[in-house]
Amino acid sequence: MDILVLPGDGIGPEIVGATVTALDALEHRYALGLELHHDEIGLVCLEKNGATMTDDVLARARESDGTILGPVDTLVYPPPEAGGRNPSTEIRIGLDLFANIRPSYARPGVPCMAPGIDLVMVRENTEGFYVDRSMVKGIGEFQPDEGMALSLRKITARASARIAKVAFELAATRRQKVTAIHKVNALKITDGLFLRTVRKVGEDYPGVELEEVLVDAMAALLIRDASRFDVVVATNMFGDILSDEAAELAGTLGLAASLNAGDERAVAQCAHGSAPDIAGQDIANPGAMMQSTAMLLDWLGSRHQRDDLKQAAAAFRAAVNAVAGDPARTTRDIGGKAGTKAFGGAVVDEIASAGS
């Protein structure tokens, strides 16, 4: 099982490093046959190769069974023509990773503003308001003159249908409810197409309830009563924003796991950014990167019908949650005093002692 490891920018090398150490512990315990191959993206790659990502890295991602992708600091990248390629976008589009799956749930011992929260955001990953994903060539954002800037939003029935199917399939294994997020009162054509497509897909799942909620109302309802939601399906930007809100309600973005999945490949990539302000200080929470990697193991276990990978994924999640809920071993974003390496070491200890 070949896994490509791309540490990324900012805190990426630290949290990915802690995750790799935990994977070594899982390999020792479960004999998974994982082979990790490391490569470079981001600012380090820019300095060495003149671009923040190379075609060779994208090819390796296609050839690998899965990829661990650290956060990237695209805000400081140069323009595309000067080598500022967005690794996240290029991997998602290049591998057709159309589903971004982001769970948020309360954990024992972790301070939580929404104790009953247990939901999964299913976010469309390849189009929408993200203008670098709306054109075959060029970018869907442009400026005709100094006082005007325009952008294009792309919504297709095909992308809407396949993300809706992911949401309904997932809900069928959980609490049998899908909530579709929209702003159809303002975006009548694009969100109208999205909603009609979701409803049509929902007809194939008569046992799953479908509700439709305006995105602004959803932002308020998550705070009022997040426990009412099970699986939430949304277009790209709405899902991105709401999943960050849900992650904070569940405790911290430092535990915000995320999996980019397609029909053939999947990439573990935590929901938060590269946090350059705390990079290199050994204070970042590696939990999100670890939980994202656990999701990747679970996905690989399902795809390849391997129970050992699923067992390892469950053990990984349990170990991270145990450490996150212990003030003596967790990081400061959730009230602890431990650093990144200490958190990672505690997770390794949990994995080693599981079931013993």
Neighbours of 314 (CB within 10 A): 15
Residue in the block written with tokens 């595309």: 80
Q: Which fold has domain 113-249?
A: Isopropylmalate Dehydrogenase (3.40.718)
Q: Are 270 and 289 in contact (CB under 8 A)?
A: yes
Q: Are 297 and 309 in contact (CB under 8 A)?
A: yes
Give Cα 267 to chain centroid, integer Å: 8
Neighbours of 279 (CB within 10 A): 18
* Phi, psi for 64 (deg, rounded to 5): -80, 160
Query: pLDDT value at position 355?
Result: 56
Alpha-carbon gap, residue 26 to 316, rounded angstroms = 8
Give burial (CB, 10 Å; 0-12/13-18/19+) of 212.
middle
Where does residue 212 fall: left (phi above 0), alpha (psi -120 to 50 degrees), or beta otherwise? beta
Listed by start position, the domains of the chain span 1-99+258-356, 113-249
Query: pLDDT value at position 66?
Result: 97
DSSP lists the bridge partners of residue 148 as 145
Residue in the block written with tokens 């904070």: 248
* Phi, psi for 333 (deg, rounded to 5): -65, -20
Query: pLDDT value at position 152?
Result: 87
Quote the CATH superfamily of domain 1-99+258-356.
Answer: Isopropylmalate Dehydrogenase (3.40.718.10)
DSSP states of 249-274: HTT-GGG---EEE-SS-EEE--SS--
Question: Which residues carry out catalysis?
Answer: 130, 183, 216, 240, 244
Neighbours of 140 (CB within 10 A): 17
Query: pLDDT value at position 143?
Result: 87
* pTM, two decimal places: 0.93
For residue 307, what are the CA distances in angstroms to 159, 174, 268, 321? Answer: 31, 20, 19, 21
Alpha-carbon gap, residue 318 to 294, rounded angstroms = 10
Same CATH fold assignment for domains 1-99+258-356 and 113-249: yes
Helices (H), ranges, 142-189: 157-172
- What confidence tens digit (pLDDT) does each residue in 66-98 have? 999 999 999 999 998 999 999 999 999 999 999
Query: pLDDT value at position 356?
Result: 55
pLDDT along the chain (356 residues), means of 10: 97 98 97 96 96 97 97 95 93 94 96 96 91 72 89 94 98 98 96 98 98 98 97 97 97 95 96 95 97 98 97 97 96 94 97 78
Interhelix angle 340-353/12-30, nearest 10 degrees: 10
- What confidence tens digit (pLDDT) does each residue in 214-232 have? 999 999 999 999 999 999 9
